[in-house]
Amino acid sequence: MAASRSSPNIIITGTPGTGKSTHAQLLVQESPITLKHINVGELVKDQGLHEGFDEEWQSYTVDDDKLLDELEPLADRGGLILDWHTCDIFPERWIDLVIVLRCNHTLLWERLEKRNYPLKKIQENNEAEIMGVVSDEARESYQSQVVVELTSESMEDLQGNVSRMVEWIRNWLDNNGVAQVNQLDRT
């Protein structure tokens, strides 16, 4: 279905620790249009969109229906950056671009250790990154031309990745006939 929204919706996904929130925050700063960064994990916790806290995994059990109901009106308007470690829940019609961040698993281990994750959680996430679990999930959930895999191991990667995302947004705006706000400002 052609997007009726005037701004694109972008998923930034990847194993915990790959740099999703860091990329999302920089993209909000560098984007030519206003984007709303939604850290989905924090939204689930703050709005109670879950069925309780799982002590073993130290995470909330998400109530998918409540989460989708909460996001639907925002997604219809567009301009979202959905920052989450999983992406198969979102309807394809909402999504214009899926960024999968990848990181060398040794580097990822170090990042997750700094978060004081329980060893079991570090091991599980490290294993998932080695196996490419999030990348597989993205490719199974969205058309291949919508999914872009980017390395996130250095500040240069970060800046380069966000510059590419900004370029993609400009192209999306041109292709969807939406004059960029700053172009309107220039008239």
Ligand X SMILES: Nc1ncnc2c1ncn2[C@@H]1O[C@H](COP(=O)(O)OP(=O)(O)O)[C@@H](O)[C@H]1O
Candidates 106, 155, 175, 182; binder of ligand X (CB under 6 A) is 155
Tokens, residue 51 = 């069925």
**Binding to ligand X, residues 99-118 (CB under 6 A):** 111
**Quick check: helix, strand or coil at residue 129?**
helix
Q: How far is CA 73 from CA 34, 67, 182, in A?
A: 17, 11, 26
Strands (E), the chain: 10-13, 36-39, 50-54, 59-62, 80-84, 97-102, 147-151
| Shortest reach from residue 147's CB to ligand X, in Å | 17
Q: Does 135 bind ligand X (CB under 6 A)?
A: no
Contact 76, 5 (CB under 8 A): yes
Contact 15, 100 (CB under 8 A): no
75 vs 108, beta carbon nearer ligand X: 108
Candidates 8, 16, 78, 79; binder of ligand X (CB under 6 A) is 16
Q: Does 59 bind ligand X (CB under 6 A)?
A: no
| Shortest reach from residue 38's CB to ligand X, in Å | 12
Nearest Cα residue to 104 out of 152, 138, 149? 152
Residue 22 known to bind ligand: yes
16 vs 79, beta carbon nearer ligand X: 16
Candidates 18, 86, 125, 141; binder of ligand X (CB under 6 A) is 18
Candidates 8, 20, 87, 169; binder of ligand X (CB under 6 A) is 20
Residue 20 known to bind ligand: yes
Q: Does 157 bind ligand X (CB under 6 A)?
A: yes
Q: DSSP for 64-87?
A: HHHHHHHHHHHHHH--EEEEES--
* Residues that constitute the known binding site for ATP: 17, 19-22, 115
* Binding residues for ligand X (CB under 6 A): 14, 16-22, 111, 152-155, 157-158
